[in-house]
Structure 1
Amino acid sequence: MRGPYTTKDPDKIVIKAVYGFLNQFSKTPASQLLSGIGHVTDGLILRITTEGLFIDDDVRGVPQREWDVKAWTLKLMEVWCPVHNIADSNATPRATNKPAPSRFKFSARNQSRALMGDDADGYLTELLHACKDDCRMGPHGGSDIESSRGAPQAGEWKNRGLHVLRATIRDQEGKRFLFVLGEEEGWKVAVGLQRLRKGTQARQLGYQPMSLTEARSAVEMLGW
């Protein structure tokens, strides 16, 4: 017997699920892997390298190569982090020395374009600080390991600190991959995206914070 799978390895992002969509308009996933469901163990991990995105079952030591996404095919990476994305002046921060307000929170007025260049670097730096200083020490602390699909709290995903990463492929259909993970793993996503950006294979890749509407629609529709 063992406890739930965890790792402090920054290169291994423990995910709750990954979904594949055939185009940018499809709402129903064409394929999916759920942590701890079926033949998949709770050691489902995502690795973000300069070469792209890679999924492994780390407990069984089985690479899920059919889920490989090469860096040069990526068009847009979007991240939902409730701490970084939501500006709420009435909220009581958990951190005592809160950093300066984010420059790159999603705004329907000024955040409709993908961030590139220095803006992308600034956004990823802010995301890393938010997730490392706040989300990593969040109240849920990985306690929500098991899927809440079908549970009474399924509609309250935002209150459980869930993070979302969505990758859009550079093709005519706009194929997408959506990853759901716990708040304690968010800082690893920021580190991975910084690594991906430093590579030579994803020069025209854009980055963008995901809006609350987009995140809610994507996650609640999938039963979280």
Structure 2
Amino acid sequence: MYCLSLVRTIAMIFLTLIFFVPGALAVSADNIIRHIEVRGLTCMSETELLNLMGFREAAEITDADVRSGIKRAFLSMRFRDIIVSRDDLDSSNLIVEVREKYRVKKISVHGNRLLEDREIKQYFPLKEGQYFDEAKMQLYIETLKESLVEIGFVDIKIDFILEFNEAEREIVVHLYIKENEPLFIKRVTIKGIDDDEEMEKVYLKLKMFS
């Protein structure tokens, strides 16, 4: 009888641990989110964003869920910043606040005399309709300059002004071009190359300056 009583006692302790230890098998009530409020979003619907982040109301959302959700949202390349917090008055309310990247509405070219607008835009890495990354703007300018130098504008000067529209989250990029005099090669004399195919390759490379 003593052994049977001991077995029953151990069984009761085991069941108590299963059902009453917080987080052992049950969902923690502290992590249940009843309502999700989204702020600052215009580039997609709230449903799309929450699905992307893996958030839904009346469900558990842990700190790990928040971190992975923010990471997935950033991978969409549409956001500069994402803040997820609990409502101070009601911790079951989750607030998702986003700061979107600007979309390039227009690229406007000024000051060019010899090059056409479409040529400059062709060499400019940033395109209309893309999301703008301000940290890469100087790289975009350097890439454009290198491309134009390669076609003979060796002394070209490029400046820019960014026109932001906060309400629409759009930006107009103004490129100011000073071409100066392009380099032209009047005559090319090549020596030491006997192979016609190699000679043709050299001429093709030099053709851009002719």
Larger Rg computed on CA atoms: 2
Structure having the higher helix fraction is 2
- With normalisation by structure 1, the TM-score equals 0.20
- With normalisation by structure 2, the TM-score equals 0.21
